[in-house]
Structure 1
Amino acid sequence: MADTNAASPSQSAEGKPPADVAFPKTIRSYVRRTGRVTTGQAKAFEDIGPQFLQPYTNAPLDALAAFGREGKLILEIGFGMGEATAHIARVRPEDNFLCCEVHEPGVGALLKRIGEQDIHNIRILQHDAVEVIDNMLPEGSIDGVHIFFPDPWHKKKHNKRRLIQSPLVAKLASRLKTGGYFHCATDWEPYAVQMLEVLSADSQLVNTAQGYAAKPDYRPLTKFENRGLRLGHGVWDLVFTKR
Structure 2
Amino acid sequence: MSQEKLTPQELISILGEASNENTPPQRLEEIYQNYKDSEIKSALTSNPNTALEILVKLAEDYPVQFLENPALDLYLLSNPKLLIEMPTHSLISIFKQPQIPQEFFSFVLNHIEEFQKFNLLNALLRVVLSHGASKWNQWRETNPSPYLGSINLSYINPRYPDVRDFDLSDFDLSDFDLSGINLSDFDLSGIKLSYAKLSGADLSGANLTSANLSDAYLGSTNLTSADLSNANLSSAKLSCADLRNANLTGADLRNANLTGADLTGARGI
TM-score by length of 1: 0.31
Larger Rg: 2
Q: Which of the two has greater strand per residue?
A: 1
TM-score by length of 2: 0.28
